[in-house]
Amino acid sequence: MLRLLLLLPTRTYRTEAFLEAARALGVEVVVASERANALAAERPDELLALDFLDPAAAAREAAEFARTHPLDAVVPVDDDTTVAAAAISAALGLPHNSVASAAAARDKHLMRALLARAGVPVPRYTLASLDEDPGAVAASVGYPCVVKPLFLSASRGVIRADDPEALWVAVTRLRAILEDPEVAERGGEAARHYLVEAFVPGQEVALEGLLLKGELQVLALFDKPDPLEGPFFEETIYVTPSRLPAGVQAELAAATARAAEALGLREGPVHAELRWNEAGPWVIEIAARSIGGLCSRTLRFGTGLALEELILRHALGMEIPSLEREARAAGVMMLPIPRRGTLREIRGQEAALAVPGVEEIAITAHPGQELVPLPEGAAYLGFLFARAETTEEVEAALRKAHRRLDFVIA
Amino acid sequence: MPETGETEIRSKVQALLDTAINPAVAMHGGFVQLIDVKDNIVYLQMGGGCQGCGAADITLKQGIERMIREEVPEVTEILDVTDHAAGANPYYSPSKG
């Protein structure tokens, strides 16, 4: 039986989907998290603790484990585990992205530098230290600009500034995020720096893809119909298929393929954020992982294959029956946190579910939880999912259902 | 399934919870309760630090399920009936990054 090492951070949303996919494939699973699971002592052959912040150490420990428990694939499920997965795969001689390419996709400055060098269109940018005068740093970029941490996800710490005063406020907020002890530990030296980049106007999309020996297969292109103009960049609705013209979609796919090549990514899932305007496509980011949160529930391939099963099949060298997404339109709304406070109650779920096209409401926040909105927060209240014949119908269903939900926050 | 079979499953699962699973998850402020056994399906509920915990799925599917299946092979399915969204004090809260 094939044995798979899944790197699952303790706080990831992706556990259920990946474990279900592994079960469907009938493969043996070893789960590694950054902290020991409560049952780790009872199940040492199946539950590991690996330091994802130290990929070399994680690789040594995993290689030692693999001497008695041979592994056929290592799959990272989100950003925090991609570099460790590459290091472990290299130590075990398994096909995977190189450590350098995974690290480049995790470091937004290095990513920008490699993309720019390869001629991939990216915003003007500069690297800044928290110790520098932001105004002086931003002079080379101009206004409006965006400050962005080098390593965080979900738009956390990403803030637009239209003038020097707004920039000073933005950097002050970003500094507080980066100096949070947990964030500082995760980021290390990267938590002392940030990017300042030009704000690129235009429509934003997300491309979900799979790299097969360096060739990009586009799995889905999502429109993000809510304008992302700042000052914060809260992601809400993703709908697919995209309504952009076929020629534009092809250019966005080509830009993503060039970005992956520029970083040296060759295998496995990629999730890219791009913008489109009169100048053409702009690569905002590309990550060596699949779509985050619970959003993968929008995607089904062939006769109902989940995205996670497709990823595991690829990693394990198993046949992939289809890379074709289902014909129906699908979408997700990441339920934004409207304001800081304590979540007391969620009302209107039945009414929201009654909206035609809405398939599921997954509430992931819990009563009593302290809610922290962007740019400081990184979690959502939950996720709404819809399917319909057209992208327009999906978007309308998500908006209508969201209006029926009432989050009581004290 | 005769009732005696279910009684036996219930007894074995409860013993496993008491002797191995709950002492371990208690270290994270959690506990697991046996709610029911019906047609060889075991219904469990997680509480305390397990309820709403980002790692609860790992604990359940990679730990508890396997332990039950090994100890009580006649069990066909293990279902988590926990309302994780109502968990007020999860050990790890999920987050996108």
Q: Tell me the chain B residues in contact with residue A82 when contact means C-beta distances shorter than 8 Å.
A: none
pLDDT of res. B93: 64
pLDDT of res. A223: 98
pLDDT of res. B59: 93
Mean pLDDT of B16-44: 93
Contact A100/A69 with Cβ under 8 angstroms?
A: no
Instruction: Cite the DSSP H helix spans in A78-179.
Output: 82-92, 99-106, 108-117, 134-138, 164-178
Let me know if residue A186 belongs to a domain: yes
pLDDT of res. A100: 98
**Measured between CA atoms, how close is B77 to chain A, in angstroms?**
13
Give the pair of three-digit tokens for residue B2.
């005769």
Contact A342/A403 with Cβ under 8 angstroms?
A: no
The model's pLDDT over B35-48, given as tens digits with 9 standing for 90+, comes to 999 999 999 999 88
The model's pLDDT over A351-391, given as tens digits with 9 standing for 90+, comes to 999 999 999 999 988 888 899 999 999 889 999 999 999 99
Residue A31: band (very low, low, confident or very high) from pLDDT cuts 50, 70, 90: very high
CATH number at residue A349: 3.30.470.20
Residue A390 burial (CB count, 10 A): 14
The answer to which of A183-187, A264-268, B68-72 has the lowest mean pLDDT is A183-187
pLDDT of res. B91: 64
Mean pLDDT of A263-278: 98
The answer to whether the Cβ–Cβ distance between A364 and B94 falls below 8 Å is yes
**Measured between CA atoms, how close is B7 to chain A, in angstroms?**
25
pLDDT of B2 over the 80 cut: no
The answer to whether the Cβ–Cβ distance between B28 and A152 falls below 8 Å is no
Residue B43, domain extent: 3-85
Let me know if residue A282 belongs to a domain: no
Mean pLDDT of A53-63: 97
- Of chain A, the percentage scoring pLDDT greater than 90 comes to 91
Residue of A nearest to B25 (CA): A38
The answer to whether the Cβ–Cβ distance between B58 and A364 falls below 8 Å is no
Of A23, A35, A363, the CB nearest to B85: A363
Let me know if residue A253 belongs to a domain: no
Tell me which of B16, B62, B69 to substitute to probe the interface with A (most A C-beta atoms closer than 10 Å). Answer: B62
Report the candidate in A271, A186, A192, A275 with the shortest Cα–Cα distance to residue A230.
Answer: A275
Of A13, A37, A378, the CB nearest to B59: A37
Domain boundary pick from A198, A214, A244? A198
Residue B20: C-alpha distances to residues A41, B8, B14 (Å): 10, 18, 10
Residue A11: band (very low, low, confident or very high) from pLDDT cuts 50, 70, 90: confident
Let me know if residue A113 belongs to a domain: no
Contacts of A333 (CB under 8 A, 6+ apart): A236, A237, A238, A383, A384, A398, A399, A401, A402
pLDDT of A265 over the 50 cut: yes
pLDDT of res. A355: 98
Report the candidate in A258, A201, A281 with the shortest Cα–Cα distance to residue A233.
Answer: A201
Let me know if residue A298 belongs to a domain: no
Residue A73 burial (CB count, 10 A): 25
Let me know if residue A219 belongs to a domain: no
Let me know if residue B91 belongs to a domain: no
Residue A406 burial (CB count, 10 A): 13
CATH number at residue A175: 3.30.1490.20
* Same structural domain, A9 and A93: yes
Number of domains chain A contains:
3
CATH number at residue B24: 3.30.300.130
Q: Residue A325 gets which letter from DSSP?
A: B
pLDDT of res. A203: 97
Residue of A nearest to B93 (CA): A11
pLDDT of B96 over the 70 cut: no
Helix-, strand-, coil-residue percentages of chain A, each rounded to 5:
35, 30, 40
Residue A163 burial (CB count, 10 A): 12
Give the burial class of A303: count Cβ atoms within 10 A of its Cβ; 0-12 exposed, 13-18 middle, 19 or more buried: exposed
Of A79, A368, A382, the CB nearest to B88: A368
Please state the ipTM of this predicted complex: 0.82
pLDDT of A252 over the 80 cut: yes
| A382-388 and A329-335 beta bridge pairing | antiparallel
The answer to whether the Cβ–Cβ distance between A366 and B93 falls below 8 Å is yes
pLDDT of res. B50: 82
Query: What's the whole-model pTM score?
Result: 0.92
The answer to which of A69-73, A308-312, A393-397, B59-63 has the lowest mean pLDDT is B59-63
* Same structural domain, A129 and A87: no
Let me know if residue B95 belongs to a domain: no
Helix-, strand-, coil-residue percentages of chain B, each rounded to 5:
45, 20, 30
| A33 close contact with B: CB closer than 8 A | yes
Residue of B nearest to A152 (CA): B97
Residue of A nearest to B85 (CA): A366
Q: Tell me the chain B residues in contact with residue A379 when contact means C-beta distances shorter than 8 Å.
A: 93-96
pLDDT of A221 over the 60 cut: yes
Domain boundary pick from A137, A163, A198? A198
Q: Tell me the chain A residues in contact with residue B68 when contact means C-beta distances shorter than 8 Å.
A: none
Surface of A (195-214) touching B: CB under 8 A: none
Q: CA–CA separation, A29 vs B97, rounded Å?
A: 24
Residue B89: band (very low, low, confident or very high) from pLDDT cuts 50, 70, 90: low
Q: CA–CA separation, A353 vs A192, rounded Å?
A: 44
Q: CA–CA separation, A194 vs A83, rounded Å?
A: 20
pLDDT of res. B97: 46
Surface of B (12-31) touching A: CB under 8 A: 20-21, 24-25, 27-28, 30
The answer to whether the Cβ–Cβ distance between B97 and A80 falls below 8 Å is yes
Mean pLDDT of A332-337: 96
pLDDT of res. B3: 52
Residue A388, domain extent: 328-410
Residue of A nearest to B95 (CA): A379
CATH number at residue A75: 3.40.50.20
pLDDT of A89 over the 60 cut: yes
Torsional class of B40: left (φ above 0), alpha (ψ -120 to 50), beta (otherwise)? left
Dihedral pair phi/psi, residue B87, rounded to 5°: -65, 120
Mean pLDDT, rounded, of chain A: 95
The answer to whether the Cβ–Cβ distance between B88 and A366 falls below 8 Å is yes
Q: CA–CA separation, A153 vs A378, rounded Å?
A: 8
Length of chain A: 410
**Strand, helix or coil at B40?**
coil
| B84 close contact with A: CB closer than 8 A | yes
| A28-33 and A3-7 beta bridge pairing | parallel
Mean pLDDT of B57-82: 92
pLDDT of A238 over the 70 cut: yes
**Strand, helix or coil at B53?**
coil
Residue A244 burial (CB count, 10 A): 16
Surface of A (34-73) touching B: CB under 8 A: 35, 37-39, 41-43, 46-47
The model's pLDDT over A121-142, given as tens digits with 9 standing for 90+, comes to 999 999 999 999 998 988 889 9
The answer to whether the Cβ–Cβ distance between B58 and A31 falls below 8 Å is yes
pLDDT of res. B92: 65
